[in-house]
Amino acid sequence: MSGRGDDRGLTVRVKKKRGVKASSRRWLERQLNDPYVRRAKADGFRSRAAYKLIEMDDRFQLLKPGQKVVDLGAAPGGWCQVAADRVGSTDEEVKVVGIDYLEVDPVPGAEILQMDFLEDEAPDRLIETLGGEPDIVMSDMAAPTTGHRRTDHLRTMHLCEVAADFAVRTLRPGGHFLCKTFQGGTERDLLDLLKRNFASVHHVKPPASRDGSVELYLLAKSFKGRRERDNAEGEEDEDAGPLG
């Protein structure tokens, strides 16, 4: 991607300070030296995560003009920015609705609900605000880390499962589901659910994911529709694409 060459040789070191943890200092150094962080500021994106969605959409052609999009775990708003631009969502005709329990500054062309997606009323609020079934359900949700890798993995996988269930219950036929997961094994029940309901399922790691990061994205393309899903319940899906 263009612009990376300008970052060569620019390494920022953070001085050690009494009372500042080494892990905090390393995180700050990583942020200051991350070319995607600098590009996000220059391009007006809320976070470097915007480039993950841009790269995945460029590869798989998910977002198209006129589509309706739900963004789960929208804070700080980078994915909403990209989606609103690519589907042509405006303040007058909103086609992108996000949700997060954190407060998010307004994003032009998007409506963002400040509430926990796990609340019982959240799914209905999302569909009501969107004004119909979504074409894309995307989730960059991750559970707050505990420092215990297995626990963090299980908690984030639970969010992925809840997001997948929402997608299967609300997507329009032909729609797509994109969700953050972690390396270390996607739960078999989740993969079975997606393979039954979508034409293809892939694991994707966009270039903007940091080197050494265990995050992956689970992409399920071309929702088959609920009627077909019900008719095929329990049958093996021979048309599901490869994971990769």
100 is in an annotated binding site: yes
Q: How do strand 215-223 and strand 198-204 relate by DSSP bridges?
A: antiparallel
| Count of CB atoms situated within 10 Å of the CB of 145 | 11
165 is in an annotated binding site: no
Q: Kindly tell me the sign of the dihedral angle through the C-alpha atoms of 203, 140, 186, 220.
A: negative
H/E segment holding residue 154: helix 149-170
Contacts with 203 (C-beta within 8 Å, 6 or more apart), sequence order: 181, 186, 216, 217, 218, 219, 243, 244
105 is in an annotated binding site: no
The three-class DSSP label of residue 160 is helix
116 is in an annotated binding site: yes
Residue 52 appears among annotated catalytic residues = no
Both tokens of residue 89? 């969502």
Q: Kindly tell me the sign of the dihedral angle through the C-alpha atoms of 29, 33, 37, 38.
A: positive
Which member of 52, 68, 95, 180 is catalytic? 180
Question: Which residues participate in catalysis according to the annotation?
Answer: 180
Annotated binding site for S-adenosyl-L-methionine: 77, 79, 100, 116, 140
